[in-house]
Amino acid sequence: MHEQFQVVFDAEDPQRLAEFWAIALHYELELPPPEYDSWEEFADKMGIPEEDRDKMAALVPKGKAGNRILFQKVPEPKTAKNRVHIDVPCGVDRHLPKLERLAGIEAKVAELVEAGGTEVGSRSEWGAVWTVMADPEGNEFCVV
């Protein structure tokens, strides 16, 4: 049985990071609870002050199994290398020969650069290939 868990990113701009990672992972921004027409209506009903309404954003899978991802605003910037990172699939089977996977990786990297990511460098080891990238706030991840 797969137990659901949530991944949480600290962020300077939760909405911006959520939008980037929605593209990277083919997720979508989480909708408000069904009894509310918008997050603004939800915040109004919950008494959330205007100045606190940009403190979180969340993503959920698009019509498939997966885990929720939460982006929470923190006051301090990222200062060191990640100790954990996400491998973002490029959509090409990992078991194909290296040269066949490279085109898929390059296409996904181009898409994520367009969305605000930064290419850090490509790697190859033991028959595997991947590209290291950083999201708009510098969090490292790999396109595989």
pLDDT in tens, 59-116: 999 988 889 999 999 999 888 888 889 999 999 988 888 888 899 999 999 999 999 9
| C-alpha to C-alpha distance for 129 and 126, rounded to whole angstroms | 9
- Residue 2 confidence (pLDDT) above 70: no
- Residue 3 confidence (pLDDT) above 80: no
- Residue 1 confidence (pLDDT) above 60: no
Percent of the chain with pLDDT over 70: 98
Please enumerate, as own/partner, the contacts of 65-68 that have beta carbons within 8 Å and a separation of 24 or more. 65/2, 66/27, 67/4, 67/5, 67/6, 67/7, 68/4, 68/6, 68/7, 68/30
How many beta carbons lie within 10 A of that of residue 129, not counting itself?
19
Residue 55 — pLDDT band, cuts 50, 70, 90? very high
How many beta carbons lie within 10 A of that of residue 113, not counting itself?
12
Whole-number pLDDT of residue 140: 96
φ/ψ of 46, rounded to 5, equals -85, -5
Whole-number pLDDT of residue 137: 96
- Residue 45 confidence (pLDDT) above 70: yes
| C-alpha to C-alpha distance for 106 and 99, rounded to whole angstroms | 11
What does pLDDT average to over the chain? 92
Please enumerate, as own/partner, the contacts of 121-127 that have beta carbons within 8 Å and a separation of 24 or more. 124/98, 127/98
Question: pTM, whole model, 2 decimals?
Answer: 0.87
- Residue 114, classed as helix, strand or coil, is helix
- Residue 128 confidence (pLDDT) above 70: yes
